[in-house]
Amino acid sequence: MTSNEKSLRKLHFEPGGESGPIENATEREMHLNQLPPDEKTLALESARLADLCQYFSQERMDLPADLVERINGLPRMQANDRVRELLSINQGLMDYLNRVGSGPQLWQ
């Protein structure tokens, strides 16, 4: 891959790029509603996982090791299995947050 191709690919995923993040909730909802139901569910659960991972990162919390292993296995799964696994992982992350409490002193 040439450096020009790498630059174009990077811009593709940057804010404003075709596959970049969508900050506007209305625009995001419009894009989601255009997807077939299976793809919409996959996109929603993937976004929830990304949001949870971003939260853990901002709070400087480590993800539980068992969930990291499961996250690493997601790309090898078929779409319908991936959705079920994402739902389970996201629930596991929320349960973990509930167990450790809301005080950052517990996370350091």
Q: What is the pLDDT of residues 53-69, one digit of tens each?
A: 999 999 999 999 999 99
Q: What average pLDDT score do residues 97-107 get?
A: 66
Residue 49 has pLDDT above 90, yes or no: yes
Neighbours of 2 (CB within 10 A): 7
What lies within 8 Å, CB to CB, of 77 at 6+ separation is 85
Higher pLDDT, 4 or 88: 88
Rounded distance, CA 83 to CA 39, Å?
9
- What is residue 107's predicted lDDT score, i.e. its pLDDT? 44
Asked whether the beta carbons of 32 and 44 are under 8 A apart, the reply is yes
Domain boundaries, the chain: 25-101
Taking the whole predicted model, whether its pTM rises above 0.75 is answered as no
pLDDT band, residue 28 (cuts 50/70/90):
confident
Rounded distance, CA 60 to CA 36, Å?
36
Q: What average pLDDT score do residues 83-108 get?
A: 81
